[in-house]
Amino acid sequence: MIKKPKRAKPGVDYKPTLGQVKKKADTVFSKYVRLRDASYQNGNWWCQCITCARWLPIKEIQNGHFQSRRFMNTRYNEENCNPQCTKCNIFNQGEQYKYSLAVDKKYGPGTAEKLERLARQPKKWKTWELDDLIIYWKGKIAEYERR
C-alpha cells in the first residue's frame, strides 16, 4: 500500500504508521466518493456539489464531510461524504444547514441526525482495517472508471 522510504534500513521490514495509512485512505476515499457521484460527459468527469448543486469537473470538486473528519466514526462513512465545491466546503464552512437538508433528501429523512449521533461515538482505526478499505475503494474506483 504505502511505498517503502528510500532511506529504510536494508533487511528491516517496513511498516507504515497509522497516520501514513490514514492519509492514503483519505486520498483514495476522496477519489471514490467523487467518482461514485460523477457523470462522464464530453470527455470529462463532472460532479454536482451537494449543497449548491453546481456542476464542476471532478478535479475542481472536493470530498465534503457533513460531520467533520476529526470524528473517526464518520470519517469514511459514505453517507457522511459527498462531492462539494471549494466555495461551499472551505469558504462557507461546509454549509452545514444546506448539507443536512441535502443528506436527508439523498439518503432519507433522519440521516443527518443519525450521522450527528454516530459522529460522537468513539472509533479508533487499525492499520489493517484501513488497508482493507483502501483495497475495496480502489476496486470500486476501477469499476467506476470503466463505466
Element (H, E) at 14: none
> 90-101, pLDDT tens digit by residue?
999 889 999 999
Pair 83, 49: CB distance under 8 Å? yes
Q: Give 66: exposed, middle or buried? Use CB within 10 Å, 0-12, 13-18, 19+.
A: buried
For residue 112, the model assigns a pLDDT of: 97
The residue to which cell 443527518 is assigned:
112
Rounded-to-5 percentages of helix, strand, coil across the chain: 50, 15, 35
> 17-67, pLDDT tens digit by residue?
999 999 999 999 999 999 999 999 988 999 999 999 999 999 999 999 999
Q: What is the percent of the chain where pLDDT is above 90?
A: 84
